[in-house]
Amino acid sequence: MNELNYQLEQLKTMNEELKEKERMYQLVSKSAVGAFLYCSFEKRRICALGQWEEFFEFEMKEMNDIFQLLEAVDESYVSKLRNILFLESQGKETAIAECLLKDKRTWVSFCVRIYYAEGGQPTDKVIYISNITKYRSQNEELTYMAYYDSMTGLYNRNYFVRLLSEYVKNASEYNHVISIMIIDIDDFKNINDGQGIMIGDELVQQFGCFLKELCRGNIIACHLHSDVYCIAIHAPNQKACVEVIYGEIQKRLKAPFKLSSGKEFYITVSIGVAEYPEAATSALELINCAEIAVFKGKSLGKDVIHYFDSSIMEDFMGTIELEEKLKKAIANQNFILYYQPQYYSGSKKLRGVEALIRWQDEDSHFIQPSVFIPAAEKNGAIIPIGKWVVEQSIKQYAIWRQQFGFPFIMSINISALQYKKEDFVESVVGNLNKYGVAPNEIELEITESVLIEDFNAVYEKIKILKEHGIRISLDDFGTGFSSLAYLTRLPIDTLKIDKAFIDTVMTDSTTRVITESIIHMVKALKFESIAEGVEYEEQYHYLEEIGCDVIQGYLFSRPLSPIQMEVVLKTEGNRVE
């Protein structure tokens, strides 16, 4: 009896332990993030555990019910799932497959593990099912970020270069050609500055979306940066070549881009083209060559397509070399000023001089201003150069004024970038005070291009300069399109007639009519007129006859070095006495 009671107690204890384990087992199953499917090959039994209902509406009662899983996934993933659900037929232990369910929204991971007996017979199968939708979304987002530009949907620069490198590799094996097109929106900075960055970004986005429509088969495109795009064409053919794509772009640009704000914008683009293997033999070099081509095209005029060739590279390298030399010249102040005299047409007395910068390089060769000034304006070097010119001109004038004892006018050319500097006026006035020069003996020359870029800002600075007593001259008059509009508003003292008119004034009747009209208008507005580039006696006598006030040109004097100019000033000083 005691033995029986002992066995009953043992069974009771074991039963409680089993209930406890069962309870623990149930809690763990219900708490699991996912679902489990257990299959016993020996007992032909199948059991669904965990969050099964979160994934599937059907139940698992028999071994054959496992086929219902194949019906639950999207058709394109059926074969993939079948391979791992019946892994035991391959004698493998584990496998994983990611599948999209038929609802097209839920991604599920199936992890299968098979347990085998010592003889190699499968005994159990456990399938773990988890929801990986969030993970897939994050992964897809990261993938998109790695490959695509978020603004336009085109490839980003890094992935584009990677694909282009593959193009180049294949082209080298099969002797194919690759065409690269760099596309740059013209005057985009004006749109950004005038309309705002948001408008600019939307325009970039819309144009990028249009370029995406052109991509097919052997054509890929990317958003390089800002308003610049790149298209690559692998093995161009009649339907996919530079000319065809350029035609499609020009056709689209005939219509405006309609933005969300309701505004419409017409744009033009400049395009540079380079080809493999003629221009370069690597992806980055090809892009670089196409960029050089578009820069060259823009320098010749916008809304163009320009093809890369060896001469463009020579010009580009020459520009790079020039810019490097220019940096050294600025650091070492390897510049000197020459001075071209200006004379009153009637008395031929000295009116003043125009300060003209000259650059003598390390080999003692003079580099023409027409060569280095455009480069300096392009890369911003004109700012320190211009600042040096202003101070040196005023300093030299102060020396001559004290040495020769009579006043004249020192004319100084000012670039558009100088006027944009906030401290420009303070800098000029500061130099006048520093060297003790009277403001009315200094004349600052501006060109119409300065006014076109930002008339209001320049006008305010000119007005302040005039209030200080500094003279203002409008240079190169007649070469622009809207000079007359400025004359009624600008507080100027002098108007310079461009050399282009003087060159043909004796041979072209139309030029004479324009020149005489300018002189009469200047007198009516009570300005002073200066004719530039006078080289012949007949030009001088004609200009004197029609009432031009001042003559400047080779007829009277070329630009002179400081020492040569001092001879002129000494002679002029004797005349004054």
3-state class (DSSP) for residue 216: coil
Give the pLDDT of residue 300. Answer: 83
Distance (Å, whole) CA 211 – CA 16: 73
Tens-digit pLDDT profile for residues 374-383: 888 888 889 9
What's the pTM? 0.59
The neighbour count for residue 64, using CB atoms within 10 Å, is 9
Tens-digit pLDDT profile for residues 81-97: 999 999 999 999 999 99
Asked if the model's pLDDT at residue 2 lies above 70, the reply is no
Asked if the model's pLDDT at residue 28 lies above 70, the reply is no
pLDDT above 70 covers a percentage of the chain that reads: 91
Give the pLDDT of residue 291. Answer: 94
Between the ranges 360-374, 409-423, 450-464, where is the mean pLDDT highest?
409-423
CA torsion, ordered 393, 395, 400, 405, to nearest 10 deg: 120
Distance (Å, whole) CA 127 – CA 255: 59
Tens-digit pLDDT profile for residues 150-164: 899 999 999 999 999
Tell me if 301 sits within 8 A of 335, measured CB to CB: no
Tell me if 277 sits within 8 A of 171, measured CB to CB: yes
Q: How many degrees, rounded to 5, is the angle at CA 190 between CA 185 and CA 191?
A: 70
pLDDT above 90 covers a percentage of the chain that reads: 59
Asked if the model's pLDDT at residue 548 lies above 80, the reply is yes
Give the pLDDT of residue 6. Answer: 62
Tell me if 125 sits within 8 A of 38, measured CB to CB: yes
| C-alpha 192: how far from chain center | 12
Tell me if 271 sits within 8 A of 182, measured CB to CB: yes
Packing angle between helix 369-379 and helix 310-332, nearest 10 degrees?
80
Which residue has 């209030």 as its token pair? Answer: 467
Tens-digit pLDDT profile for residues 60-118: 989 999 999 999 999 989 999 999 999 999 999 999 999 999 988 899 999 999 999 98
3-state class (DSSP) for residue 257: strand
Q: Which of 118, 58, 112 is nearest to 86 (CA)?
A: 112
Give the pLDDT of residue 494. Answer: 94
* Mean of all residue pLDDT scores within the chain: 88
pLDDT band per the 50, 70, 90 thresholds, residue 546 = very high
Paired with 276 in beta bridges are: 178
Asked if the model's pLDDT at residue 288 lies above 90, the reply is yes
Relative to beta strand 335-344, strand 219-225 is unpaired
Q: What sign does the CA torsion over 363, 367, 373, 378 have?
A: negative
Give the pLDDT of residue 184. Answer: 96
Q: Which of 364, 361, 363, 383 is nearest to 373 (CA)?
A: 383
Q: How many degrees, rounded to 5, is the angle at CA 153 between CA 147 and CA 158?
A: 30
Average pLDDT of the segment spanning 514-531: 92
pLDDT band per the 50, 70, 90 thresholds, residue 409 = very high
3-state class (DSSP) for residue 121: coil
Give the pLDDT of residue 103. Answer: 86
Which of 118-122, 220-224, 392-396 is predicted least confidently?
A: 118-122
Tell me if 268 sits within 8 A of 255, measured CB to CB: no
Number of C-alpha atoms within 13 angstroms, CB side, residue 417?
15
The residue type found at 279 is: A
| C-alpha 526: how far from chain center | 46
Asked if the model's pLDDT at residue 440 lies above 50, the reply is yes
Tens-digit pLDDT profile for residues 146-196: 788 989 999 999 999 999 999 999 998 889 999 999 999 999 988 888 888
Tens-digit pLDDT profile for residues 292-337: 999 988 888 889 999 998 787 777 777 777 888 888 888 888 899 9
Average pLDDT of the segment spanning 542-557: 96
3-state secondary structure 361-419: CCCCCEECHHHHHHHHHHHCCHHHHHHHHHHHHHHHHHHHHHHHCCCCEEEEECCHHHH
Distance (Å, whole) CA 181 – CA 219: 11
Average pLDDT of the segment spanning 204-209: 95
Distance (Å, whole) CA 164 – CA 181: 12
Non-local (6+) Cβ contacts of 81 within 8 A are 69, 70, 73, 97, 99, 110
Tens-digit pLDDT profile for residues 458-487: 888 999 999 999 999 998 776 654 456 667
Average pLDDT of the segment spanning 431-450: 91
Asked if the model's pLDDT at residue 27 lies above 60, the reply is no
Distance (Å, whole) CA 524 – CA 17: 116
Residue 156's φ and ψ, nearest 5 degrees, are -80, 175
Relative to beta strand 107-116, strand 550-551 is unpaired
Give the pLDDT of residue 20. Answer: 59
Asked if the model's pLDDT at residue 365 lies above 90, the reply is no
Give the pLDDT of residue 24. Answer: 55
Q: Which of 455, 524, 464 is nearest to 495 (CA)?
A: 524
Q: Which helix (H) or strand (E) holds 323?
A: helix 310-332
Tell me if 240 sits within 8 A of 218, measured CB to CB: yes
Packing angle between helix 157-174 and helix 283-300, nearest 10 degrees?
110
Number of C-alpha atoms within 13 angstroms, CB side, residue 363?
3
The DSSP annotation for 510-576 comes to HHHHHHHHHHHHHHHTT-EEEE----SHHHHHHHHHTT--EE-STTT---B-HHHHHHHHHHHHHHH
Give the pLDDT of residue 480. Answer: 54
Average pLDDT of the segment spanning 338-350: 95
Give the pLDDT of residue 133. Answer: 87
In the sheet that holds 305-307, the strands lie side by side as 219-225, 228-234, 178-185, 269-276, 305-307
Q: All domains of the chain, ordered by start, with CATH?
A: 32-136 (3.30.450.20), 148-308 (3.30.70.270), 319-576 (3.20.20.450)
Tens-digit pLDDT profile for residues 237-281: 877 899 999 999 999 999 999 998 888 999 999 999 999 999 999
Tell me if 540 sits within 8 A of 551, measured CB to CB: yes
